[in-house]
Amino acid sequence: MNTKQEILTFLQEHKDELLSRFHVSTIGLFGSFSRGEQHASSDVDILVDFDENVTDFYTVKTALKEYLTHAFDRSTDLARKKYLKPYAKEQILKDVIYI
C-alpha cells in the first residue's frame, strides 16, 4: 500500500477486526502519508488508542504494529495520543485523519 487512500481504506475495511482483535477504540493516519508527502522509504504513522479494559498494552500494541506492518508492507509506527510529546502533539493532531 503506497497511498493515503489505500491505507485509510484498509483501516476502514478492517475496523471491526481492529476493534475485536486488538481492542482499538480510535485509529487514524498522521505524518507524511496523511499530508501526501510520503516517499519510497516513508513509514506509516498511526495514532491509536485502546479500550480501557486492555491490561497488557505492550503485547497488544506489538501485535497491532506487526499486523499493520505486514498489511502495509512497510515500517509502521504506532503512537498513543496520551503519550505524544508536547513539541509534536500539535502537528500530529493537525495531521491526523481518523477513520
96 grid coordinates: 491526523
CA 72, 12, 3, 91 torsion: positive or negative?
Answer: negative
- Domain extent, residue 52, equals 4-98
pLDDT surpasses 90 at 65: yes
- 47: domain CATH number is 3.30.460.10
- Helices 15-22 & 57-72 angle (0-180, nearest 10): 150
Q: What pLDDT does 3 receive?
A: 93
Question: What is the average per-residue pLDDT within 74-89?
Answer: 95
Q: What pLDDT does 55 receive?
A: 87
Domain count, the chain: 1
pTM over 0.75: yes
Q: What pLDDT does 1 receive?
A: 58
* H helix runs in the chain, sequence order: 4-13, 15-22, 32-35, 57-72, 86-95
pLDDT band of residue 87 (cuts 50, 70, 90) is very high
